[in-house]
Copies of this chain bind each other. A is one copy, B any other.
Amino acid sequence: MKNSFSDIYSLLQELAWHFGDHGINGECCEDLSLVEFMALKAAHENDNFSIQDIGNSINFTKSGATRIIDRLETKGYVKRERSLTDGRVCCVPVTDKGAQVISQIIKKNTNYVEELLQDLDPQAIDNIKTAMEILIKSVHRQDIIKSKSQ
């Protein structure tokens, strides 16, 4: 049993490497780094997210977040807009171009996953999906526990 956990860790580790910043042939996210993609996705999925919110969601300092947003803005993927309700905070709406690049990245990587798994039978694919959903759910639960204990 103990052994299972160790196996699972090592599998997770390898997966994380493969699908991380250096993986998928080093071509993670079009002209974005993984970090930038995560930030862009955070901005896209959460309306009225501030720059610090984005930073927190990807474990960066606020100045790190500022820099990431700088790069995304230079590339035309986000805009900076002062919040109407609080003049200090910057909202970071995603531009059309930004939304496009997100869906392009998702599409490309979905295709890669499809290529990877196409020879498996549907049942096996479904098992993989279910297993990973359970895994993610556990991760989220743990996150909540951690954040409460702090």
Interface residues of A, Cβ cutoff 8 Å to B: 1-2, 4-23, 25-26, 34-35, 38, 58-59, 106, 109-117, 119-120, 122, 124-136, 138-139, 142, 146
Q: How far is the CB of A134 from chain B (nearest CB, A)?
A: 6
Interchain Cβ contacts under 8 Å between A and B, 30 examples = A1-B122, A1-B125, A2-B110, A5-B113, A5-B125, A6-B106, A6-B113, A9-B112, A11-B129, A11-B133, A11-B135, A13-B109, A15-B15, A15-B16, A15-B132, A15-B135, A16-B20, A17-B20, A17-B34, A17-B38, A18-B139, A20-B34, A22-B35, A25-B146, A26-B59, A117-B135, A119-B138, A124-B134, A128-B134, A132-B132
